[in-house]
């Protein structure tokens, strides 16, 4: 016995070494648990061994066995199920009773069971059980041996859990990056591309396969760089060292990127540095956003502001000019001149009012849904009044009204609907510079009325017919450029009609005039 002891210790050490090697070699958890079992059985002169681990629901489940028929595993699991029914963890007496039953289930010759819980950070995650074919009092030494293997098994389980969590996080992150609507790129500290997601493939025309491994400058090339410069920022010391808990300082770069097919795309790229624990740059995550729409909206806004200031200035200049002339005391104006001048002042003041009205309405529309002030509206009479007013403003256009008799009275917001008709008739005049007939008419259906305004003007190309109803949108042709306008009239008209539960659309062919229709519910 005295002589046996060193051998025994050597054997135990060899087993422990083998197990820790297996763990560092990242063998599969089942494999490591089987090694632990084998070592425990040999060291304790056991016959059969089981490792059970708790699953996500806290139930013990057989994970590794030695000397157990696979058909027995279901029965073992059923006995293990009952273990958790005891309060305060595992009640040793109950456990012993269960183990005896297990022993009977497994092999009638089994006489003794030795077990230890597998514990990680104070929490039981499993059980290591060894059955012997004979019964001797378990010594401290037995339990110590078992403990050393149970510790190894617990570490292996812990590693496996950590690995599974990291693996899950890694896959989750990869999926987020891959399916992000923004382009995402991962770079190393030398600006070599390590990752390239689908959205970026679409934006840049590069496949991930071709882009990964290349230098950033080979893939992201600029026609025009407007803001920021990554290379320069890196030379200047970006990312600047900060206290460890300070938020990372990102870098924004914006410009026109040249795609692989040669087309350009306006993008904004935010570079976020990932630092190592000692503060060195490890990776850069680049988030690439297509800002074409944003740019277009900005462009439209700029054009709008310059048109609007021009539009406001012209009538003011005219009013001021005429008023100044009339006021001159050295001139005796004849009544005809005075009358004409006052008429111009009045017209221009009307134009200003209309413009301001449209502007106000459009800016209010952005902030809130349009509220309607409903009353009885006679659209045929309203059309006649609008025509009467516009007739004085043009000599080259002829107005025709075609409403059936007894045109129904509808419920609507009179002021707003007049704005719609005004805008449509005004456009009909503006966009038929050679004059012609402008017809305004109506039709009646079971549940709706339809009003149309038809001109013989320049017409609208098919591809523009949807867009002209957008805010600030104007067809980019020579006539529109020469004609005053803000691109608000049709946007307003559409909003007003839709607020009434109706629809507005246009039928037109370039060179053959346009007809705008709007439909309103009868009541
Ligand atoms: P604006 O006339 O102030 O530019 P609108 O919103 O009223 O703004 O119209 C948008 C665009 O639709 C106009 O710039 C013009 O190009 C086109 N358009 C509108 N009405 C007509 C029409 N009757 N005939 C031809 N083009 C039209």
Which residues lie closer than 8 Å to 6 by C-beta, 6 or more apart? none
Q: What separation in Å is there between the alpha carbon of 376 and the centre of ligand 1? A: 29
Among the listed residues 269, 260, 301, 92, the one whose alpha carbon sits nearest the alpha carbon of residue 187: 269
Tell me 500's DSSP state.
T
Q: For residue 208, what pLDDT is reported?
A: 96
Confidence of residue 89 (pLDDT cuts 50, 70, 90): low
Q: What is the mean pLDDT of residues 418-435?
A: 93
Q: Which residue's CA is minimally distant from atom 2 of ligand 1?
A: 485
Q: Round to the nearest angstrom and report the end-to-end CA distance of the chain.
A: 108
Q: Which residue's CA is minimally distant from atom 11 of ligand 1?
A: 474
The CB-side HSE value for 408 (13 A sphere, CA atoms) comes to 16
Q: For residue 84, what pLDDT is reported?
A: 59
Give the position of tokens 């009541």.
523
Q: Out of 32-41, 80-89, 499-508, pick the least confident.
A: 80-89
Which residues lie closer than 8 Å to 505 by C-beta, 6 or more apart? 516, 517, 518
439 Cβ inside 6 Å of ligand 1: no
Residue 214: count of CB within 10 angstroms of its CB: 15
Compute the mean pLDDT over every residue in the chain, rounded to the nearest whole number. 87
pLDDT surpassing 50 at residue 2: no
CA–CA dist 497, 91 (Å, integer):
77
Q: For residue 393, what pLDDT is reported?
A: 80
Please, are residues 427 and 390 in contact by the beta-carbon 8 Å criterion?
no
pLDDT surpassing 50 at residue 23: yes
Q: What separation in Å is there between the alpha carbon of 221 and the centre of ligand 1? A: 39
Confidence of residue 110 (pLDDT cuts 50, 70, 90): confident
Q: What is the mean pLDDT of residues 472-481?
A: 76
Q: Where are the beta strands (DSSP E) in 69-214?
A: 112-120, 123-132, 183-188, 193-196
Tell me 89's DSSP state.
S
The CB-side HSE value for 395 (13 A sphere, CA atoms) comes to 0
CA–CA dist 511, 461 (Å, integer):
9
pLDDT surpassing 50 at residue 138: yes
495 Cβ inside 6 Å of ligand 1: no
pLDDT surpassing 70 at residue 221: yes
Q: For residue 367, what pLDDT is reported?
A: 53
Look at 50 and 359; give whichever has higher pLDDT.
50
487 Cβ inside 6 Å of ligand 1: yes
Q: What is the mean pLDDT of residues 308-316?
A: 78
CA angle 238, 240, 242 (to 5 degrees): 155
pLDDT digits (tens, 9 = 90+) for 193-218: 999 999 999 999 999 999 999 999 99
Q: Tell me how far the alpha carbon of residue 120 is from its chain's centroid.
A: 40
Please, are residues 211 and 196 in contact by the beta-carbon 8 Å criterion?
yes
Phi, psi dihedrals of residue 434, rounded to the nearest 5°: -90, 10
Q: For residue 155, what pLDDT is reported?
A: 87
Look at 425 and 57; give whichever has higher pLDDT.
425
Residue 64: count of CB within 10 angstroms of its CB: 23
Confidence of residue 508 (pLDDT cuts 50, 70, 90): very high
Q: Which one of 475, 496, 510 would you pick to mutate in the ligand 1 pocket, going by the greatest count of ligand atoms within 8 A of its CB?
A: 475
CA–CA dist 105, 34 (Å, integer):
21
CA–CA dist 286, 250 (Å, integer):
10
468 Cβ inside 6 Å of ligand 1: yes
Q: What is the mean pLDDT of residues 488-511?
A: 92
Confidence of residue 189 (pLDDT cuts 50, 70, 90): very high
Confidence of residue 3 (pLDDT cuts 50, 70, 90): very low
pLDDT surpassing 50 at residue 1: no
Q: For residue 337, what pLDDT is reported?
A: 87
CA–CA dist 141, 1 (Å, integer):
14
In the structure encoding, which two tokens stand for residue 148, read together?
């050393």
pLDDT surpassing 80 at residue 519: yes
pLDDT surpassing 60 at residue 8: yes
Q: For residue 312, what pLDDT is reported?
A: 81
Distances (CA, A) of 205 to 48, 80, 155, 477: 62, 57, 48, 32
Please, are residues 273 and 284 in contact by the beta-carbon 8 Å criterion?
yes
Give the position of tokens 């045929």.
380
Q: Which one of 306, 429, 488, 490 would you pick to mutate in the ligand 1 pocket, going by the greatest count of ligand atoms within 8 A of its CB?
A: 490
The full DSSP string for 1-44 is -TTHHHHHHHHHHHHHHHHHHHHHTT--HHHHHHHHHHHHHHHT
- 152, with CB counted inside 10 A (0-12, 13-18, 19+), is buried
Share above pLDDT 90 across residues of the chain, in percent, rounded to a whole number: 43
Phi, psi dihedrals of residue 373, rounded to the nearest 5°: -105, 95
Q: Which one of 311, 420, 468, 473 would you pick to mutate in the ligand 1 pocket, going by the greatest count of ligand atoms within 8 A of its CB?
A: 468
Confidence of residue 113 (pLDDT cuts 50, 70, 90): confident
Q: What is the mean pLDDT of residues 476-489?
A: 75
Our separate counts of H helices and E strands in the chain read 15, 17
pTM above 0.95, yes or no: no
Sheet holding 514-521, edge to edge: 397-402, 436-444, 448-454, 514-521, 503-508
Please, are residues 47 and 102 in contact by the beta-carbon 8 Å criterion?
no
Q: Which atom in ligand 1 lies closest to the alpha carbon of residue 457?
A: 24
CA–CA dist 159, 26 (Å, integer):
9
pLDDT surpassing 80 at residue 25: no
């Amino acid at each position: 016995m005295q002589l046996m002891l060193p051998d025994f210790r050597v054997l135990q050490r060899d087993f422990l070494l083998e197990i820790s090697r297996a763990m560092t070699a990242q063998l599969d958890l089942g494999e490591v648990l089987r090694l632990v079992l084998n070592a425990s059985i040999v060291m304790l002169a056991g016959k059969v061994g089981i490792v059970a681990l708790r699953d996500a629901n806290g139930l013990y489940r057989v994970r590794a066995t030695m000397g157990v028929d696979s058909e027995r595993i279901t029965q073992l699991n059923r006995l293990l199920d009952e273990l958790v029914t005891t309060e305060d963890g595992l009640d040793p007496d109950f456990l012993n009773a269960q183990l005896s039953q297990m022993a009977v289930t497994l092999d009638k010759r089994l006489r003794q069971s030795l077990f230890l819980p597998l514990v990680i950070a104070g929490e039981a995650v499993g059980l290591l059980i060894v059955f012997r074919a004979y019964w001797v009092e378990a010594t401290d030494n037995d339990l110590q041996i078992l403990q050393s293997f149970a510790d190894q098994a617990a570490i292996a389980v812990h590693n496996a859990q950590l690995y599974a969590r990291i693996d899950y996080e890694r896959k989750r992150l990869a999926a987020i990056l891959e399916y992000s609507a923004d382009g995402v790129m991962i770079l190393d500290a030398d600006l070599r591309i390590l990752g390239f997601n689908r959205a970026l493939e679409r934006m840049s025309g590069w496949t991930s396969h071709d882009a990964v491994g290349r230098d950033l400058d080979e893939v992201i090339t600029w026609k025009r760089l407007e803001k920021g410069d990554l290379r320069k920022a890196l030379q200047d010391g970006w990312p600047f060292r900060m206290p460890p808990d300070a938020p990372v300082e990102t870098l924004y770069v914006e410009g026109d990127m040249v795609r692989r097919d040669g087309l350009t795309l306006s993008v904004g790229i935010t570079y976020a540095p990932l630092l190592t624990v000692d503060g060195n740059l490890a990776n850069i995550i680049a988030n690439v956003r297509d800002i074409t729409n944003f740019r277009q909206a900005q462009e439209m806004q700029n054009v709008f502001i310059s048109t609007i200031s021009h539009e406001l200035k012209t009538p003011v200049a005219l009013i001021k000019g005429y008023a100044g002339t009339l006021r001159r005391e050295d001139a005796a104006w004849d009544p005809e001149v005075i009358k004409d001048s006052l008429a111009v002042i009045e017209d221009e003041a009307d134009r200003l009012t209309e413009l301001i009205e449209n502007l106000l309405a459009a800016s209010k529309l952005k902030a809130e849904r349009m509220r309607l002030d409903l009353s009885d509206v006679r659209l045929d009479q309203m059309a006649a009044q609008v025509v009467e007013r516009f007739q004085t403003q043009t000599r080259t256009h002829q107005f025709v009204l075609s409403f059936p008799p007894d045109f129904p009275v509808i419920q609507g917001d009179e002021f707003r609907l007049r704005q719609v008709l005004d805008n449509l008739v005004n456009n009909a005049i503006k966009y038929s510079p050679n004059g012609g007939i402008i017809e305004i008419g109506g039709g009646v259906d079971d549940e709706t009325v339809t009003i149309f305004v038809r001109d013989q003007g320049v017409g609208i190309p098919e591809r523009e017919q949807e867009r002209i109803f957008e805010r600030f949108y104007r067809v980019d042709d020579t006539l529109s450029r020469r004609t005053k306008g803000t691109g608000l009239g049709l946007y307003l008209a559409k909003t007003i009609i839709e607020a009434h539960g109706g629809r507005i659309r246009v039928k037109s062919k370039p060179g053959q005039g346009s007809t705008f229709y709007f439909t309103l519910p009868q009541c």
